[in-house]
């Protein structure tokens, strides 16, 4: 179990968005915390709108969703999703890495955590909430970068791309939050 704990702590050393010029650095551990926090909010909003959501499952998925990055690092999204074949290979490598990280856990936990990591990629509402929250976290980072004067992220159209990906998750409350985040940024910019 100590290996799992030590490996997971490596996430605080892995930086995100390393291929972009950036003003603020963010570790994968920071990203995972905010993804889980936003996932909790989005799950609660989905429940409020009448949907049935297993919030505990959402949080567990969010906490584990980037565990493989302890070894494979944060692969930039355009590269990771360049082709379905490459995405599939990244997924296979990620699964091997996560299996290794979980290897010193008791069998029921190891299997449970691996399934939660895998399920982040499926179409269940809990998985889609986690993916939408992962994208929301990146969107907020981009908005903050723009507000601090980073014109690179503006030129690359990352905000629009993230907004479209959030829309594709089909999680209405996440899309509504994304629009509110962008609108609040526009209002701050205008004042």
CA distance 112 to 150: 41
Query: Residue 27 pairs with which residues in a beta bridge?
Result: 15
Question: What are phi and psi for residue 6, nearest 5 degrees?
Answer: -65, -45
Digitized pLDDT (tens) for each residue of the chain, 191 residues in all:
899 999 999 999 988 887 788 888 999 999 999 999 999 999 999 999 999 999 999 999 999 999 998 887 777 777 777 788 888 888 899 899 999 999 999 999 999 999 999 987 789 999 999 999 999 999 999 999 999 999 888 888 889 999 999 999 999 999 999 999 999 999 988 88
Question: Which of these, 23, 26, 35, 40, lies nearest to 154 by C-alpha position?
Answer: 23
Torsion on CA atoms 159, 117, 74, 132, rounded to nearest 10: 0
CA distance 188 to 148: 12
> Which pLDDT value is given to residue 156?
85
136 with 42: CB under 8 angstroms? yes
- The shares of helix, strand and coil residues in the chain, as percent rounded to the nearest 5, are 75, 0, 25
User: What topology does CATH give the domain 2-190?
Assistant: Hypothetical protein af1432 (1.10.3210)
pTM for the model: 0.91
């Amino acid at each position: 179990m100590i290996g799992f704990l030590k490996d997971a702590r490596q996430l605080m050393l892995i930086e995100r968005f390393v291929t972009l010029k950036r003003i603020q650095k963010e570790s994968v551990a920071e990203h995972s915390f905010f993804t889980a926090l936003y996932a909790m909010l989005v799950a609660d909003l989905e429940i409020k709108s009448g949907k049935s959501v297993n919030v505990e499952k959402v949080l567990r998925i969010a906490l584990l969703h980037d565990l493989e990055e302890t070894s494979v690092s944060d692969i930039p999204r355009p590269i990771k999703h360049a082709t379905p074949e490459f995405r599939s290979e990244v997924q296979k490598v990620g699964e091997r890495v996560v299996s290794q990280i979980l290897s010193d856990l008791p069998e029921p936990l190891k299997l449970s955590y691996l399934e939660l990591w895998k399920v982040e990629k499926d179409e269940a509402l809990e998985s889609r909430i986690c993916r939408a929250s992962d994208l929301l976290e990146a969107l907020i980072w981009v908005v903050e970068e723009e507000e601090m004067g980073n014109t690179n992220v503006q030129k690359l159209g990352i905000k629009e791309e993230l907004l479209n990906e959030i829309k594709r998750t089909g999680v209405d409350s996440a899309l509504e939050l994304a629009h509110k985040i962008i609108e609040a940024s526009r209002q701050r910019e205008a004042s």
